[in-house]
Amino acid sequence: MELTESAKILKNILALTYEPIAVKFFENMVTLEGFELPGDRRYCQVLMGARQGRKLMLTAENISCPAAAWALGFKEPPLKLSSGEMPAGMGIFASPAAAKHTLDTMPRLGMGKYQMVACCPLGQAPFEPDVVVLESAVEHLMWVALADVFETGGRLEFSTAILQATCVDGTIIPFLTQNIHASLGCYGCREATDLTESECVVGFPIKDLDNIVSSLQKLNERAIPRVRGKAVYQALLSRK
């Protein structure tokens, strides 16, 4: 299925306010027509721009978040970050040791493996994405997760440190594991972007896009309208 059509179906069935996001990693610097290379940006801010309709690129030169730069393999971390001093000083963890323990478990891309990451609305991607990311209401992302196991059944397993939610949880983990992954969000993305209190993040590898879209269409035949109609809840109210 074409990316434009897939994006349209995702938006319509899920009732997304914003665009699904296409993310692609590049081992070498490339020129992408219509893409901006903005001034200092965090990765979560580039995702925010993409869900709002912009086409953006991020490199070692314009990334401003040292944690994301480390996770993406763009730059080695400053000592204050890798030691845990910085996160502890921000009040995220009780001590540098606790923060360092968390950072030591963080999945990352190989240092120097990729030179650039590009993010844009899925329906406008001029490339095959590596990962599709959605930032939206929890109920919307619930259906995406269910669509992932609609045909096979089984359970999904998500792992999060409530740190680096968009770069690691929503993008890097799906890319490395080739499995869907979700996150509740984190300090950084909730402070630095317009992500609301009721929104969180899910990412999945591009290989799963067609299956997820097809399964959402089937879920939309009965399950999604029924849940959103809240017939059982309305019946309960009528008995009060």
Q: What is the pLDDT of residues 81-114, one digit of tens each?
A: 999 999 999 999 999 999 999 999 999 999 999 9
Q: What is the pLDDT of residues 133-145, one digit of tens each?
A: 999 999 999 999 9
Count the alpha carbons within 13 Å of 216 in the hemisphere toward its beta carbon. Answer: 22
pLDDT of residue 239: 87
- Give the C-alpha separation, 152 to 188, whole Å: 35
pTM assigned to the model: 0.96
Extents of the domains making up the chain: 3-238
Query: What pLDDT, on the 0 to 100 scale, is given for residue 17?
Result: 97
Q: In which band, very low, low, confident or very high, does the pLDDT at 39 lie, cut at 50, 70 and 90? A: very high
Closest C-alpha to 16, from 29, 6, 24, 28 = 6
Other C-beta atoms closer than 10 Å to the C-beta of 104 total 9
Tell me what the pLDDT averaged over the chain comes to.
Answer: 97
pLDDT higher than threshold 90 for residue 65: yes
Is it the case that residue 41 has pLDDT exceeding 80?
A: yes
pLDDT at 155: 97
- Distance between CA atoms of residues 45 and 21, nearest Å: 12
pLDDT at residue 1, as a whole number: 77
The structure tokens 């990729």 sit at 114
Q: Which tens digits make up the pLDDT trace of 161-181?
A: 999 999 999 999 999 999 999
Residue 120 confidence (pLDDT): 98
Q: Are the CB atoms for 164 and 183 separated by under 8 Å?
A: no
